[in-house]
Amino acid sequence: MCSSFTTLAVNVSFKVEYKCPYGQSLTLVGDTAPLGNWSAKRGQRMHWSRGDTWSCNVMLPAGSTVECKYVVVDEQGKEQRWQEGSNMVVEV
């Protein structure tokens, strides 16, 4: 008898205040496929709102530990600046 396991996903919200020049935006990248496997072009584009607040929701596997960073990108998705310091660690 064969059994299959379904990995549960959790909707994780990310939010940060950051002012970047017009034409640039933030992307969330990390060490998992939903966050682009460290590629800014494949990462999760964030959405701007008043107060220079950027946010996004990402479905991540329950019980996982994910490392991630914010990246400033231009209109074509080209990396302009990576978040300084150590990676953020999120326990889902």
Domain boundaries along the sequence of the chain: 9-85
Residues 5, 57, 92, 31, Cα dihedral to 10°: 90
The confidence score (pLDDT) of residue 80 equals 96
| Pair of tokens at residue 21 | 């020049």
Q: Nearest-CA neighbor of 28 among 11, 49, 42, 18?
A: 42
Please state, in angstroms and rounded to a whole number, the distance separating the CA atoms of residues 62 and 47: 24
Per-residue pLDDT of the chain (92 residues), as tens digits, is: 455 556 799 999 999 999 999 999 999 999 999 999 999 999 999 999 999 999 999 999 999 999 999 999 999 889 999 999 999 999 99
CATH annotation of 9-85: 2.60.40.10
Which residue, chain included where needed, has tokens 């494949």? Answer: 42
